[in-house]
Amino acid sequence: MAWYHEIASSLAALVRRPRQDAELSEEMRFHLEMETKRNIEMGMSEADARRRAQREFGRVELHKDDTRDERGASALFDAWSDLRFAIRSLRHRPGLTAAATLTLALGIGATSTVFGVVEHVLLRPLPYAQPEHVVAVWSAWKGFERTWLSYDEWEGWKARVPAFADIALYSDGAATIDGDSPERVRSTSIQASVFPILGVRLARGRGFTADEDRPGGPSVAVVSNELWERRFGGDPSIVGKHVQISGSDRVIVGVTPAGFQLPQDYAGGERTDIYFPLATDANSQGAVPGPAFPKGGASHGYYAVARLAPGATAAMANAQLRTLVAELEQFGYMANVNFRAFVVPIEEQITGRVRPVLLVVLGAVVLVLLIACANVAGLLLVRGEARRRELAVRVALGAGTRRLARLLITESALLATIGGVMGVTLAWVTVRLLRTNAPAGLPRLGETSIDWAVLLVAFIVSIVTALLTGVLPLAHATGMALSGELREGGRGATTGRARLRWRQALVAVEIALAVVLVAGAGLMIRTVRNLLTIDPGFRADGVLTMRVSTPTVFYPDSTRVISYWDDVERRVAAVPGVKHVAAVRLLPLASEMGDWGMVIQGYTPPPNQGAPGDWQIVTPGYFETMGLTLRAGRTFTASDNDFKSPLALIVNRAFEQRYFAGRRALGGRVRIGSADTTKWYTIVGVVDDVHHNTLIGIVKPQFYATLAQFALAPGSTRRTMSLVAKTDGDPKALVSAVRAAVRAADPRLPVSEVRTMREIVDAAIGGQRFAMATLGVFGLVALVLSAIGIFGIVSQVVASRLHEFGIRAALGATPRDLMVMALGSGLRQAMTGLAIGTAAALVLTRVLHTLLHGVTPTDPLTFGAVVVVTGLVTVIASVAPARRAARVDPNAVLRVD
């Protein structure tokens, strides 16, 4: 095949098209004239001769098209002319075009946004080498579903679990970068093998050596890429520099790569900015050196991460841990508390909680997209109705079905393209909003961005919508081409039937999908309401919180720490609007709290079990600030926060029920820690349980001690505390005044994590709230689109039956009769849709199962409300067009004939 002929022909077709077209017309005209002449010579009349010639030749426009197609590059031309035609026809109906593009933009935008989130949160690999081989290792026992490891366990698992290639410990905290503008950042102390286990290669410098990771080792640190850029201006010679951190001099040995985070960083949504060597061993842990276990267990305080040995799986690791733990139990280790050890694949660990939420949202957005497509297809069908004659003329002039198909598909494609561009813009805006307002507690959500993958998906979705919305109008148009619309006469009341049936089916589908979405939204709303009605044990409203640390360099002893907090509280209390102020070790629902072993007078724990209590350290005023309910006794007074006063303890109801069953807790005596030397506390008050770790689930025994007395016994000075300030007004309004007051007390100490208690509570149910918000918005969109669909149907029915209504009116039907008749035409679809949708929703809402709280996936109340709401929406949407039927003027209608 001579390719240069092809190219020359295509080029000529591009450059000389008008001339070639003129020549083609002339050539065919010549043919027809010659044929006519020949027919006349054969004895026909001129009219017959011409008709015969035309019949023999066939459809001129069709042959012209076919000939053009043979020129080469014709696809381009046709596309261009189709496009121009599509633009023109869409501009002719701005209302319809706007409705269709907006609907598509909504569908495509929502789909792109959700896909962007799913891609970044679930699909994008974690910043670890072969993350499928990395697992988090946990311990568990009664009351602790997922808790830390002890040093002994680490030694034991490392030596005796063959499925682990290596396992390492780390522990999180906070550090202050000293200097003119001190900064509080999240820090984590890691064993030297944490980086190799995660398979991270440092961007600069190196990780820690074994020599650095021992007690008394060199004072070194690794910083995150983000801190390096922000705080050190990307200094290329950072490695080897000395930096003052939390009052001690540290040599920076490395910088992590951009985007790197420890597994535990994802849980809190905060990145570790400084890494220290964990620098611990069995001796400094009070643990048994080597892979051996003390009977009672020891302090459990480390996160652990492990890399699986080649060929090993998480299931194998779990099986080996189970065997090992059973063996330890025989020996008496952590007996009678149902001790377990297990691994969780790191991906599941990090995104496991958010996965069900996102999958539900992804499913919901696909439903929204389908509704949008159904709606646009419906709109195009209406337009097809109005264009019947135009298309019929085209068919009569010889336009083939293929040509017609191209034309209609081009129109859908154009709509989808405009919708796609608007949709991507919408997605861009939504993602920006999402990044700044990422609900806490949903890891990686804030990383979402519109990237090439998202754009590609938006593109594919646009093409799919073009096909979905184009195919139905197309089927009708081609049907039309075969059935010869022209002969049908002008009215076409009956021919519209088939199209109407299609639209009715589409609207029924829309309503069914809307019911599913609204049902999902309803269940989530009920869940969030249920969660919000759980009494957390404190009053979140009006409470402002912020974290402050008192490092040893500035505050070498507990006396100074206590007087610092006294000073801060005095200054903050003086801020206008502040009613109560206090300090607390851990804010409820903001972080998990571990326990401390106790000795309780008159209580003998079962064999091999201690008497653990969650330990909350506060300053007097905490109970008033947080609105805890006092059940017995008194709250702390200023004199309790003093070394010289008698040691006073306040306990929660769970504490009283567990350790003082049948006795009065008030006046009971408790020793914190098992050492015989620690002093006895006396219980002076009992307060209601506070949900500390999670909003749902059981509350464990908890005690409250004052900052000063806890520093005395068991002798632990809490250096990081959260300030809590209560106001009657908006706590946000107090931020700058309270900050200024804290700063005035000591400008060297940075303030971090400024939040309201309300924000913390909201974040605790972030997943459910996120699902509720998205399903709510999608449900609303679905309702609006279905309403538009119903509105369109009833309008069309009324328009096509106006004549009939006129006759009926003339024969004595009242406007009321006519209105009922018109309403009925839409309500049948609504009923079908409601029935199908309810049935589908009853099955589909099961996927929400893990997210729901206090409501079943088939909650009758929710479903009843959904049916009523959706039904009402369809009735309201039908009323306006039905009114037109009621107002029909028989004279005007009948005179048209």
Partner 1 sequence: MPTEPRLGPRAEVVRGTLEMLALRLLNEEPMHGWGLSLRLREISRDVFDVNQGSLYPALQAMLRRGWIRAEWRASENNRRARYYRVTVEGQKQLDVQIAEWQRTSAAVNRVLRYAFSGA
- Please report how close the Cβ of residue 34 comes to partner 1 at its closest, in angstroms: 4
In order of 251, 368, 381, 845, 868, the CA distances from 873 in angstroms are 67, 17, 23, 22, 9
Helix (H) or strand (E) holding 172: strand 164-177
Among 21, 45, 48, 57, binds partner 1 (CB under 8 A): 57
Q: Which stretch binds partner 1 (CB under 8 A): 19-27, 234-242, 275-283, 718-726?
A: 19-27
Q: Is 237 strand, coil or helix?
A: coil
- Please report how close the Cβ of residue 36 comes to partner 1 at its closest, in angstroms: 11
Q: How many CA atoms are closer than 13 Å to the CA of 266, on its beta-carbon side?
A: 24
- On whether the CB atoms of residues 651 and 665 are closer than 8 A, the answer is yes
Report the residue number, 361 or 404, with the smaller CB distance to partner 1. Answer: 404
Report the residue number, 38 or 92, with the smaller CB distance to partner 1. Answer: 38
Report the residue number, 72 or 776, with the smaller CB distance to partner 1. Answer: 72
Q: Does 735 bind partner 1 (CB under 8 A)?
A: no
Binding mask 337-376 for partner 1 (x = CB under 8 A): ----------------------------------------
Q: Which residues contact 853 (CB under 8 A, 6 or more apart)?
A: 527, 530, 531, 696, 768
Binding mask 27-46 for partner 1 (x = CB under 8 A): xx-xx--xx--x--------
Q: Does 489 bind partner 1 (CB under 8 A)?
A: no
Q: Does 9 bind partner 1 (CB under 8 A)?
A: yes
Q: Does 58 bind partner 1 (CB under 8 A)?
A: yes
Q: Which residues contact 300 (CB under 8 A, 6 or more apart)?
A: 139, 147, 148, 149, 150, 153, 594
Q: Which stretch binds partner 1 (CB under 8 A): 26-34, 334-342, 619-627, 818-826?
A: 26-34
Tokens of 596: 């401390």
Report the residue number, 486 or 733, with the smaller CB distance to partner 1. Answer: 486
Residue with tokens 């801020």: 575
- Please report how close the Cβ of residue 85 comes to partner 1 at its closest, in angstroms: 23
Q: Is 530 strand, coil or helix?
A: helix
Pick the closest to residue 512 from 219, 866, 19 (CA basis). Answer: 866
- Residues between 634 and 673 with contacts to partner 1, criterion CB under 8 A: none
- Residues between 803 and 822 with contacts to partner 1, criterion CB under 8 A: none
Q: Does 50 bind partner 1 (CB under 8 A)?
A: no
In order of 366, 374, 416, 447, the CA distances from 513 in angstroms are 10, 10, 21, 31
Report the residue number, 1 or 661, with the smaller CB distance to partner 1. Answer: 1
Q: Does 55 bind partner 1 (CB under 8 A)?
A: yes
Binding mask 63-82 for partner 1 (x = CB under 8 A): x--xxxxxxx----------
Q: Does 26 bind partner 1 (CB under 8 A)?
A: yes
Binding mask 465-484 for partner 1 (x = CB under 8 A): -------------------x
Q: Does 56 bind partner 1 (CB under 8 A)?
A: yes
Among 14, 24, 505, 802, binds partner 1 (CB under 8 A): 24
Q: Does 432 bind partner 1 (CB under 8 A)?
A: no
Pick the closest to residue 117 from 567, 466, 527, 439 (CA basis). Answer: 439
- Please report how close the Cβ of residue 52 comes to partner 1 at its closest, in angstroms: 11
Report the residue number, 401 or 716, with the smaller CB distance to partner 1. Answer: 401
Q: Does 309 bind partner 1 (CB under 8 A)?
A: no
Report the residue number, 34 or 553, with the smaller CB distance to partner 1. Answer: 34
β-strands 648-652, 611-618 pairing: unpaired
- Please report how close the Cβ of residue 69 comes to partner 1 at its closest, in angstroms: 7
- Alpha carbons 161 and 317: distance in angstroms, whole number: 7
Residue with tokens 């610092």: 564
Report the residue number, 396 or 773, with the smaller CB distance to partner 1. Answer: 396
In order of 397, 548, 613, 617, 628, the CA distances from 705 in angstroms are 93, 19, 12, 5, 15
Residue type, 367: L
Q: Does 219 bind partner 1 (CB under 8 A)?
A: no
- Please report how close the Cβ of residue 27 comes to partner 1 at its closest, in angstroms: 5
- Residues between 381 and 410 with contacts to partner 1, criterion CB under 8 A: 396
Q: Does 331 bind partner 1 (CB under 8 A)?
A: no
Tokens of 538: 């404190």
Please state the length of the chain.
897
Q: Does 229 bind partner 1 (CB under 8 A)?
A: no
DSSP 689-728: ----S-SSSPPPPEEEEEHHHHHHTT-----EEEEEEEES
Report the residue number, 96 or 396, with the smaller CB distance to partner 1. Answer: 396
Tokens of 645: 């006063």
- Alpha carbons 287 and 150: distance in angstroms, whole number: 9
Tokens of 97: 């075009």
Among 98, 359, 486, 868, binds partner 1 (CB under 8 A): 486
Report the residue number, 291 or 492, with the smaller CB distance to partner 1. Answer: 492
Q: Which stretch binds partner 1 (CB under 8 A): 57-65, 108-116, 517-525, 840-848?
A: 57-65
Q: Which residues contact 260 (CB under 8 A, 6 or more apart)?
A: 127, 200, 224, 225
End-to-end CA distance of the chain: 64
**Extended strands (E) in 219-350:** 220-223, 242-245, 248-255, 274-277, 300-308, 340-345
Q: How many chain residues bind partner 1 (CB under 8 A)?
A: 35
Burial class (CB in 10 A: 0-12, 13-18, 19+), 616: buried
Report the residue number, 71 or 743, with the smaller CB distance to partner 1. Answer: 71
Residue with tokens 């974290």: 547
Binding-site ranges for partner 1 (CB under 8 A): 1-2, 4-6, 9, 23-24, 26-28, 30-31, 34-35, 38, 55-60, 62-63, 66-72, 396, 484, 486-487
